[in-house]
Amino acid sequence: MDRSLYRPTLRQTSALVVIAAIALTFGFVMRYAVIQNSAIGIGCETASTLLCTGRYATIVLFQQQVFGAVALAGALLNLCRPWIVLAAVALLSGGAGIVLYNTVLSAFAVAALILSLARPAPARG
């Protein structure tokens, strides 16, 4: 029984590259321009704007390790049953999690995502 390995198509790979770029951009902008910016932090103590709400939500999510946990869950499910949506979820939350202080779980998720490319493709039935 010779089954080929799971490989995303060119269109799926292009979409995953765009998703990874979006995740990293979100992570870098939130971390360096919003969360670590002291002027915005001081301004958010008194004001309640959309930026401050996003800042607060992002801080709560990375304190609870949500980015890493979602990335790990998506990557492990993708390892069991390859599906492009699971890979996209793992890549999106893992990319943001690596930048936003959830490094351990997110890096483990990205490693599991890479391992999912070494498993056989699902059988067509």
pLDDT of residue 120: 76
pTM of the complete model: 0.88
Alpha helices in 29-118 (DSSP H): 38-46, 50-63, 66-80, 84-99, 103-115
**79, pLDDT greater than 70:** yes
Is the predicted pLDDT of residue 1 greater than 60, yes or no? no
pLDDT at 3: 67
- Return the C-alpha torsion angle 116, 120, 122, 124, nearest 10: 160
With cut-offs at 50, 70 and 90, classify the pLDDT of residue 85. very high
pLDDT tens per residue across span 87-121: 999 999 999 999 999 999 999 999 999 998 887 77
What are φ and ψ of residue 64, in 5° steps? -90, 5
The residue extents of the domains of the chain are 10-118
Q: Give pLDDT, residue 42.
A: 93
CA distance 99 to 84: 23
Q: What is the pLDDT of residues 13-70, one digit of tens each?
A: 999 999 999 999 999 999 999 999 999 999 999 888 999 999 999 999 999 999 999 9
C-alpha 29/C-alpha 23 separation (Å) is: 10
Confidence (pLDDT) at 125: 61
- Specify which residues 120 forms β-bridges with: 5
